[in-house]
Amino acid sequence: MKKIVYYIKRIFKMDFKEMFKTIKKIHERSGKSRIYIFFDMIYCSYKYLAGYTDYFLFYFEDLTNDQRKTYITRGVNNGYLKTLNNSEYYHYFRNKIEFNQKFKEFVKRDFLDLRKSSSTKFAKFVQKHPIIMVKPIDQSGGADVAKITIDKKTNVEKLYEVLKNTQQFLVEDYVRQHKEMNRLCASSVNTLRIVTVRKNGKTTVMLRAIRIGNGIRDVDNFHSGGMFTIFDESGVISKPAMDREGKLYEIHPVSNVSIKGFKIPYYKEAIDMAIKASQKIPEVGLVGWDIAITNSGPLLIEGNELPGYDIYQSKIHLSESKEGLKPFFDKVVYGDTNEKN
């Protein structure tokens, strides 16, 4: 019954214009007829709770039904969130200032709330920290995040007013990343995405990934031009990086550093930090932690209470079996591999 109710709700919310655009893209890459793709997409939406975006991202047209049922789709992910996450505690993750205050021991950097700080206090802050990151307190994906360098030409009073007017209320000391991470891409802080599940007093690491800037923008976010890939248990990147358009990179396009085979410093300490951070708010059991690596170790950038399930299962990062991560997640979340939808 729950599955049918979810399916009906999704139909009424569906953007059919985008759906048919997606069908066209799948047709062009696969050569399969639009009619076949349409009806197969409808089948997958009911059978596997897969939206048309899931179908596109996971190349469902190339998969068998046995492979398809192993994927975490939108509907499957919603089940995990309902089981593990209490939305009453989401404000700690959605408000970046609240997050910094709650996780201060892991954040390890100075920050300022412009809603409560005078221009004089801001001036003292930037005198101490001449390179800052400014952020809205409630947006994700790197939107309106900017790096600002203060110099003699900077009108600090005017900057203070601009930041308040644009509601970039969070001001942080800029993170100086580890020299090796800087060598990989110097334009942005390249963060690790560690996904954890906290259940029954135990934390399990579900995913180890790294987000890498494109060498142009100041952020590494996947939806802001960055790329991502995964690293293994020894901290070595084991696959090429991929951007949002599906383009693969074995060598960084700007730094020319080899991505595959790159060894991440302090990766063990970063994993330990994610595990410890997961214990702070156990009511939110499924979290994606973004962690930067500095010359003195890891520090926490933010936590995501709705970590994107799409990057878990990109075509290039899966094993040769082309199986998704649903069996692994089901075992940890539910205690078995049976469908819980």
Q: How confident is the model over 205-264, as pLDDT tens digits?
A: 999 999 998 865 555 555 555 888 999 999 999 899 988 777 889 999 999 999 999 999
Token representation of residue 21: 């655009």
Backbone angles phi, psi at 33, to 5 degrees: -65, 150
In this predicted structure, what is the pLDDT of residue 9?
61
Task: Please tell me the CATH superfamily of domain 110-173, with its number.
Answer: ATP-grasp fold, A domain (3.30.1490.20)
CB atoms within 10 A of CB 22: 19
Task: Please tell me the CATH superfamily of domain 88-97+178-317, with its number.
Answer: ATP-grasp fold, B domain (3.30.470.20)
Q: Is the dihedral of CA 108, 114, 117, 123 positive or negative?
A: positive
187: CB partners within 8 A, 6+ apart: 213, 214, 215, 216, 217, 218, 254
Residues of the chain with CATH 3.30.470.20: 88-97+178-317
Give the C-alpha separation, 82 to 262, whole Å: 36
* CA distances from residue 39 to 45, 59, 223, 302 in whole angstroms, order as listed: 10, 15, 29, 40
The tens digit of pLDDT for each residue in 176-200 reads 999 999 999 998 889 999 999 999 9
Mean of per-residue pLDDT scores for the chain: 90
Return the higher-pLDDT residue of 335 and 203.
203
Residues of the chain with CATH 3.30.1490.20: 110-173
Q: Contact, 138 vs 95, CB < 8 A?
A: yes
Give percent of the chain with pLDDT exceeding 90. 76
Pairing between β-strand 146-149 and β-strand 241-243 as defined by DSSP bridges: unpaired
8-state DSSP, 264: P
Q: Contact, 277 vs 300, CB < 8 A?
A: yes
Show the beta-strand stretches assigned E in 79-237. 111-113, 131-135, 146-149, 170-173, 192-199, 202-212, 227-230
Token representation of residue 136: 């809205």
The tens digit of pLDDT for each residue in 97-155 reads 999 999 999 999 999 999 999 999 999 999 999 999 999 988 765 567 888 999 999 99
In this predicted structure, what is the pLDDT of residue 317?
78
